[in-house]
Amino acid sequence: MEEDYPKTLIEMEDRFNTEAACLDYLRQLRWPEGFICARCGATEAWHTARGLYHCRRCDSETSVTAGTILHRTRKPLRLWIRAMWHITNQKYGANALGLQRALGLGSYPTAWQWLHKMRRAMVRPHRDLLSGMVEVDETYVGGKKSGKRGRGAAGKALVGIAVEDKGDEGIGRIRLQHLQDASAASLEPFVQGIAEPNSAIRTDDWSGYNGLTGNGFHHIVMSSNDLKLAHLIAALLKRWLLGTYQGAVRPSHLAYYLDEYTFRFNRRTSTFRGKLFYRLVQQAMMVDPAPVATLKGPALPFLAGLDNLNLDPIDDDPPTTYSGHLS
């Protein structure tokens, strides 16, 4: 299926003005090559009077939205489509109150849940790993609290940053991840999970990265001051959190905000906002259901005692300028 999406608000409203139109669009995105049974893999089915697909081989029945982010939704698909359009057309990100107002939802918790479901869909399953020259560093997010500074800072959340250096072409893709600490036990799996084997990994001389060569990477050590790409992403991330969410981000939800920022940054060159909408709807059809109980991050022990990460933009902010290209 070719990339097919509305380019303006009017196009979106005209195209998705019925449930049937929404359902047909979702069906094309979920099964671009035709129906595939999730249970047995068969490709032949008939359409029942209840709108379900009945597999000819195993007799199972499923809907277009079953097993996706929209699993068992009772809300009109038109509302979900408008929610995804609203989220992707907010240049600096959407918040639950804004989504509630835009859709006329009667409940703030519903808007909050929808927003977090959409953030989960922003991470494409089996997404491509970073490659080539990859710069890696960490940054802390959170306001000033008493305690140690640097990689042992107290009362803050540690975020791993990886960014492709495309040379004259500027910055490539990025990956962000909430880390437990800056030990090798945290940093090495982070790099292994985001970069292709044999990639060149550029870091500072922190001991937590010493095992990268043994893990199949070409490890390049340089001064921390020279990690300009990672520093720039750290600064932009903090300002985005501060400007869009006023810094009030709970550590248990931080991973979702990192996913949203990554989704937006990696698509910053899209000519039409509709392209982001297309990708979000497409990935919503690929991601497993997200029950309300799972919308909080894992109850990890290193989060104990942390409340909202009330960001101070002055605290530990890296340089915000870079001589390369940010296209």
Task: Dump pLDDT digits (tens) for 23-42.
Answer: 999 999 999 999 999 999 99
pTM of the model: 0.83
User: How would you classify residue 45: left for phi > 0, otherwise alpha for psi between -120 and 50, otherwise beta?
Assistant: beta
Answer whether residue 113 is part of any domain. no
Highest mean pLDDT among 113-127, 175-189, 240-254, 308-322: 175-189
Answer whether residue 43 is part of any domain. no
Residue 41's alpha-carbon distances to 51, 55, 118, 227, 235, in angstroms, are 20, 9, 27, 47, 46
Answer whether residue 146 is part of any domain. yes
What mean pLDDT comes out for the span 272-286?
94
**Which CATH number covers residue 192?**
3.30.420.10
Would you call 115 exposed, middle or buried from its count of C-beta atoms within 10 A (0-12, 13-18, 19+)? buried
- What is the share, in percent, of the chain residues with pLDDT greater than 70? 85
User: How would you classify residue 97: left for phi > 0, otherwise alpha for psi between -120 and 50, otherwise beta?
Assistant: alpha
Per mean pLDDT, which range of 39-48, 152-161, 208-217 is the poorest? 152-161
**Amino acid 149: pLDDT:** 46
Contacts of 5 (CB under 8 A, 6+ apart): 272, 274, 275, 277, 278
Confidence of residue 1 (pLDDT cuts 50, 70, 90): low
Q: What is the pLDDT of residues 51-88, one digit of tens each?
A: 999 999 999 999 999 999 999 999 999 999 999 999 99
Instruction: Decide: helix, strand or coil at residue 62.
Output: strand
**Average pLDDT of the chain, as a whole number:** 86
Answer whether residue 27 is part of any domain. no
What mean pLDDT comes out for the span 260-271?
91
Extract the tokens encoding 302. 């290193």
Answer whether residue 135 is part of any domain. yes
What mean pLDDT comes out for the span 144-173?
78
**Residue 7 predicted with pLDDT over 90:** yes
Confidence of residue 154 (pLDDT cuts 50, 70, 90): low
Distance between CA atoms of residues 96 and 118, nearest Å: 11
User: How would you classify residue 325: left for phi > 0, otherwise alpha for psi between -120 and 50, otherwise beta?
Assistant: beta
Answer whether residue 144 is part of any domain. yes
Confidence of residue 153 (pLDDT cuts 50, 70, 90): low
**Amino acid 252: pLDDT:** 79
Q: Domain count of the chain?
A: 1
Range of the domain at 134: 130-249+317-327
**Amino acid 309: pLDDT:** 54
Answer whether residue 152 is part of any domain. yes
Using alpha carbons, select from 248, 246, 193 the residue that is nearest to residue 215: 193
